[in-house]
Amino acid sequence: MEKSWMLWNFVERWLVALASWSWALCRISLLSLIVTFHLYGGIVLLLLIFISIAGILYKFQDVLLYFPEQPSSSRLYVPMPTGIPHENIFIRTKDGVRLNLILIRYTGDSSPYSPTIIYFHGNAGNIGHRLPNALLMLVNLKVNLLLVDYRGYGKSEGEASEEGLYLDSEAVLDYVMTRPDLDKTKIFLFGRSLGGAVAIHLASENSHRISAIMVENTFLSIPHMASTLFSFFPMRYLPLWCYKNKFLSYRKISQCRMPSLFISGLSDQLIPPVMMKQLYELSPSRTKRLAIFPDGTHNDTWQCQGYFTALEQFIKEVIKSPSPEEMAKTSSNPEMKLRPVCRSPLTFALLNPEIQPFLQNKWDPLFQCKCTMFC
């Protein structure tokens, strides 16, 4: 009995001491907060505002970036090709998401050897809205077209996210590799706007499986776009970890050594055309081309004169590409540094825009040319 009483007495005294210590710690902490706020209230307030903005942007980034329901009914109705053979395909990604694809095969004389273009669209609508563009590619380029609806778009399941779109692109490429009727040695990636970032990522991770990449009116990264679209003070200094979606194409392009075509509409009012030029400059590919269309807007560059000529010549050049030894000789020849490869009658002036410090190569302040594509 005496031992039990002593034990309870010890526990009681220990709890009282702990409570006293905790109360003292709370008082000291509260006093410290009051003093800190009194001395550095302005700094604390700015910090709280900064953290609040970062938190809001992080939470609602998907809403600002992905528009699968625009135009209306895009999630309910996906137009299908009429009058031409096609396949409406559903596949599963590694994380179990069901994706919708449309495969339109070229049925001409050289169809067994036709290249296949995997088409990654922008951040709105669905694959059915890209059919006019895709059908013109089919007719003019004589290629197979595989149009991809990301997760959360069209009839595909799930919700869009950066990692999700990467998984989608990997699943599509894996699917193409299982098709015995598609030439595995002639796989081209095409990406417009957001699709360009997806294509660059896929190419950077699968250089041994991709023949070439073509990107149109795409961006350096989401942080670059955020600082461009929202140029007020806090946005320019948000750290990278504040961005839920990053799409760091300006870094990943360094891993894309396959032939690359960069298509830029100089009248793009959404993504600054200079970003396409910067991606071109950052590309390590020995066979890289920059196709420029002065009247090309963000969504309608494909309607410009000479557009399909530029794509056709690039594809033919890739298919008939020289040996590595010949390419090494060409790249070492200074006279081949700038060579027109497109005979389109367009005439334009290419101004030297403001380039960021990490770019090594500069163009002349003013270069006038009667073509739309340069080495």
> What tokens does 186 get?
């002639």
Q: Which residue has the tokens 């009914």?
A: 73
Distance CA 363, CA 135 (A): 36
Distance CA 273, CA 262 (A): 11
Annotated catalytic residue 300: no
Q: How far is CA 372 from CA 38, 92, 270, 287, 345, in A?
A: 63, 40, 21, 16, 9
In the set 114, 156, 169, 193, the catalytic residue is 193
Distance CA 47, CA 261 (A): 44
Beta-carbon count within 10 A of 259 CB: 24
Q: How far is CA 260 from CA 12, 210, 244, 253, 361, in A?
A: 76, 11, 28, 10, 17
Annotated catalytic residue 193: yes
Strands 288-293 and 260-265: parallel
Q: How far is CA 153 from the centre of its chain?
A: 16
In the set 295, 298, 300, 321, the catalytic residue is 298
Nearest one of 193, 213, 292, 194 to 257, comparing CA atoms: 213
Q: DSSP for 86-98?
A: -EEEEEE-TT--E
Sequence-separated contacts (24+) of 318-322 with Cβ below 8 Å: 318/188, 318/211, 318/212, 318/259, 318/287, 319/115, 319/186, 321/259, 321/287
**In 206-292, alpha helices (H):** 222-229, 249-252, 273-282
Q: How many helices (H) and strands (E) does the chain have?
A: 9, 11
Annotated catalytic residue 204: no
Nearest one of 162, 148, 164 to 97, comparing CA atoms: 164
In the set 260, 268, 283, 285, the catalytic residue is 268
Which positions are catalytic? Answer: 193, 268, 298
